[in-house]
Amino acid sequence: MKKLLFGYRLDHWLVAICMAAMVVIAFLNVLSRYIFHFSLAATEELTINLFVWMTTIGIGIAFERGGHMGMVTFFNLFPKKMQSACIIIYSLLAAGLFAVLDWYMIDAIYDEITLFQARSASLNIPVWIYYLGLPVFSLFVFRGIYQDAKTRLTDQDKEG
């Protein structure tokens, strides 16, 4: 596992930055409600999109750690060769799911840039900028799926 910045990887830093930004934004909104008696409209827009980005990065981290849901009892009933095939199949299916999500999100980004040119309600930012997070941060998901499959297949080889 490579360490990038101050002993931690980029995906860990991005999740921490997103979480810290969400906390600061939500806290500032609470302060503005109680001190100035009005809510900052942009806070909801920002926190929702930061949450989506953070979740996408977190999916990759969860895959890498083997933290995704699995049917272990059923999986353990298979012979070792079949278990290896199952690992490859579910890794390909998971990667395929995110490839499809990325395909449709890139299509939506293209539509937003060329056809609709929609802007966000409170900050007047082009909506496609928020959409861009999913395909970009899916790179961490693909890496996590690969690392998980590699680890599980290596463990299968050691056991068998």
Reported as a single tens digit per residue, the pLDDT across 51-88 is 999 999 999 999 999 988 888 888 989 999 999 999 99
Q: What are phi and psi of 7, to 5 degrees?
A: 85, 0
How much is the pLDDT for 79? 94
Output the six-digit token pair for 25: 């934004």
pTM above 0.85, yes or no: yes
Reported as a single tens digit per residue, the pLDDT across 82-91 is 999 999 999 9
Q: Residue 151's closest CA among 133, 143, 31?
A: 143
Q: Residue 14's closest CA among 108, 155, 143?
A: 143
DSSP code of residue 6: T
Structural domain boundaries of the chain? 10-159
Identify the bridge partners of residue 119 per DSSP, sorted by sequence position: 126
Sign, CA dihedral 118-123-125-128, equals negative
